Amino acid sequence: MSEPITLRDLVDIPVERLKGVGPKKQASLVKIGITDLLDLVTNYPRRWVDRTNEARIADLVPGEEALVLVTVRSVNKRATRNRRTIVNVNVGDGSGRMDLVFFNQPWRERQLKEGLQIALFGKADTYRGGLQMSNPIVDLIGDRTGRIVPIYPQSEKAQINTWEMASWIEETLRRCEERGIADPVPSAVLCEYKMISRSDALAGIHLPEDMKQKEMARRRLAFDELLRVQLVLVLRKRALERDQRGFKHATDGDLVRRFYDSLPYPLTGAQERAIGEIFVDLANGHPMHRLLQGDVGAGKTVVSVAAMLVGVQSGHQAALMAPTEVLAEQHAASVRLMLDGVTVPDPANLFGDRPLRVELLTNRVTGAARKDILEGLADGSVDIAIGTHALIQNAVDFSSLGVVVVDEQHRFGVEQRSALRDKAADGQMPDTLVMTATPIPRTAAMTVYGDLDVSVLDELPPGRTPIVTMWANGPLMETAVWRDICDEVQAGRQAYVVCPLVGESEKLEIASAEETRERLARDELSGLRLGLLHGKMQSDEKEATMDRFRAGEIDVLVATTVIEVGVDVPNATVMAILDADRFGIAQLHQLRGRVGRGEHASTCWLITQQREDGDEGNPRVEALVETTDGFALAEVDLELRGEGTLMSTSQKGRSDLKLASLRRDRNLVEMARRAAFVIVDADQDLVNHPLIADEVDLMFSDRDEEFLTKS
């Protein structure tokens, strides 16, 4: 065989074919997920030691992290009175000596033998006049030569060290040299983005001559990972556009113009841009699949109403589906208010116009009212239906569903979304607009929502007051929170108190909310009118409580996170979130968005308990105090949480992109997306790119692809 070696060829060769991999080493490699040569060559170094630029012991600065290469001089282990072990290791290089101390790691005595060369990464401190590192990261590098030494992830339980890993990878790459390694990415793409060949990249990541070569290698291999993901998404997107018939809507009718004229304020630049992007989709005859992401209060509803009115003026119906009854009712109230007085031009009508019919359908609508709405949906007299999953039940038939808006999409199952789309008549797919107030970093949106086009609302409409966020850490600062709430109520305003998440237990959460209300009524907020709202209340109870709060009959609403989405009371100006450190950034930001919805200045208090270890830092809470920009917070969230995996719901924080990072490689994500469109648009089934097609097939199971495209 003289063809270049493909990734599939490498998968077909087991690691035991390599010199030095006997049954014992093979079993150890299996423990760390390496069974074939592709696993091996994509087991990338976690660090590279630049021997031309490494720190010496003499150059270490106390309190600063550094990487040093040293030789072990002596090792001793002792037990403390409470039976804990301490291993002391003395190490040195040509410039000086240093002590290492390892607490509760007795195995270090076996690992660190006299004369062994090791790389240390850690913070040096002064101790008894000399330098010392406590529990540094240790990499065994043996007598590796070369200017750049790659250090591979090492596993104590697998007992494979970095020089063994390096020697097997070097042998694999050496044996590939004769035939060469296949490069499936078109040379025009490599040339445009200034990428080195895959062969050079694999050599450069494992055996770099210098750090610049290592960086070029990493860039190319990370691009390959992202390109494969984007190809799955773009192939899916183009197939949907090709196979599904959509509606060609008229976007320049009078109805939308009347709506704009009725608004009491001008659209923001971001709203105009998003509406323009949506209208292009609505007019082109392919079903729209678009994500509209905008911060809390950025005016997504106005944009979605404009889209739905295009459907109505084209002779079709529109539907808005929300995840909860509270939110559906909220949407119905605000959409009706927005469309109050807007009529539909109708040449068949004696007056030239007819009223616009907007109906709310949830499971609480029953009897004659429900029958009337169902008939109106079936005969086309209902123009806009707003509701929960009740809209997709079997009894619901639309005359001609043209535009679907789904709010807070992450709360809906894929099946629910497609069931709503399946309500379309004559095999024509309605245009779908997905809205979310959870800002997603642009690169993550391109990947997680890669088969959707993305529109972003990144401006707040005029008149929205910025929310001041304050951190109350500990009981002393907490008193200021209750004083602030009392002052606001005295001034005629209202407040929310949000109770903490209690693990997965709704029962405990409700108990905590009830207990909080009783305590506040007795102590800190005595004399104020307190209400309670939680997820297990009957729908009519919930609605009655919300109505009383909206009407000003309740001063302070004590609630669980049921108020996270969509509750809109402009007179509520202060929120206190108890045990705020139990919530994620996105959820805290969503909750905070329930205040600041009127003309008055608003405050959100994040209450935490002081930690016993004395550590005062809390990066999530600090980020929320610092900014109200949801997109900036989404980036912080990605930094703090790790990226998670793209393919399925495996372990949080562990990405299945081995080199590429949605955080670090924003420009590579965009390049990969552009390249994927170029490749797919010229070759929609990848017939002329068999190597790329084979790699996508190899790297993604059907389940992975389904997960990617349905996320």
Which of 627, 655, 685 lies at the terminal end of a domain, its last residue? 627
Asked if residue 159 lies in contact with residue 28, where contact means CB atoms within 8 angstroms, the answer is yes
Domain shared by 504 and 451, yes or no: no
CATH of the domain at 368: 3.40.50.300
Domain shared by 618 and 559, yes or no: yes
Which of 627, 658, 690 lies at the terminal end of a domain, its last residue? 627
Q: Domain for residue 603, yes or no? A: yes
Q: What is the domain range of residue 281?
A: 254-457
Domain shared by 373 and 450, yes or no: yes
Measured CA to CA in angstroms, residue 47 lies from 56, 91, 399 at distances of: 18, 21, 62
Q: What is the DSSP letter of 158?
A: T
Task: Look up tokens 């905590």; give the residue.
Answer: 512
Domain shared by 473 and 453, yes or no: no
The pLDDT, as a whole number, for residue 303 is: 96
The pLDDT, as a whole number, for residue 654 is: 40
CATH of the domain at 81: 2.40.50.140
Domain shared by 520 and 424, yes or no: no
Question: Three-state DSSP class for 468?
Answer: strand
* C-alpha–C-alpha distance, residues 429 and 286, integer Å: 8
Residue 648 CA, chain-centre distance (Å), reads 13
Which of 609, 627, 645 lies at the terminal end of a domain, its last residue? 627
Tokens of 236: 């899916």
Domain shared by 446 and 476, yes or no: no
Tokens of 588: 């805290």
Number of structural domains, the chain? 3
Q: Domain for residue 579, yes or no? A: yes
Task: Look up tokens 């607009």; give the residue.
Answer: 433
Domain shared by 542 and 621, yes or no: yes
Dihedral, CA atoms, 610, 615, 621, 627, nearest 10 degrees?
130
Question: Three-state DSSP class for 161?
Answer: coil
Q: Domain for residue 644, yes or no? A: no
- Phi/psi at 194 (5° precision): 55, 55
Domain shared by 619 and 562, yes or no: yes
Tokens of 444: 């993550």
The pLDDT, as a whole number, for residue 417 is: 56
The pLDDT, as a whole number, for residue 645 is: 56
The pLDDT, as a whole number, for residue 131 is: 92
Amino acid residing at 43: N
Q: Domain for residue 583, yes or no? A: yes
The pLDDT, as a whole number, for residue 652 is: 34
Q: Domain for residue 649, yes or no? A: no
Q: Domain for residue 651, yes or no? A: no
Domain shared by 545 and 498, yes or no: yes
* C-alpha–C-alpha distance, residues 117 and 68, integer Å: 11
pLDDT beneath 50, residues of the chain: 648-655, 710-711
Q: Centre a 10 Å sphere on the Cβ of residue 707 and count the other Cβ atoms it contains.
A: 17
435 Rama class: left (phi>0) / alpha (psi -120 to 50) / beta: beta
Q: What is the DSSP letter of 568?
A: -
The pLDDT, as a whole number, for residue 651 is: 33
* C-alpha–C-alpha distance, residues 694 and 525, integer Å: 66
Burial class (CB within 10 angstroms; exposed 0-12, middle 13-18, buried 19+) of 239: middle
Asked if residue 386 lies in contact with residue 328, where contact means CB atoms within 8 angstroms, the answer is yes
Question: Three-state DSSP class for 31?
Answer: helix
Burial class (CB within 10 angstroms; exposed 0-12, middle 13-18, buried 19+) of 50: middle
pTM (2 d.p.): 0.68
Round the CA-based radius of gyration of the chain to a whole number and report it: 31
The pLDDT, as a whole number, for residue 236 is: 84
Show the 3-state SS of 410-452.
Answer: HHCCHHHHHHHHCCCCCCECCEEEEEECCCCCHHHHHHHCCCC
Looking at the DSSP assignment, which residues form a beta bridge with residue 321?
387, 406
Domain shared by 398 and 368, yes or no: yes
Domain shared by 399 and 280, yes or no: yes
Q: Domain for residue 16, yes or no? A: no
Q: Domain for residue 386, yes or no? A: yes
Residue 62: CB partners within 8 Å, gap ≥ 6? 124, 125, 126, 131
The pLDDT, as a whole number, for residue 649 is: 40
The pLDDT, as a whole number, for residue 653 is: 37
Domain shared by 313 and 449, yes or no: yes
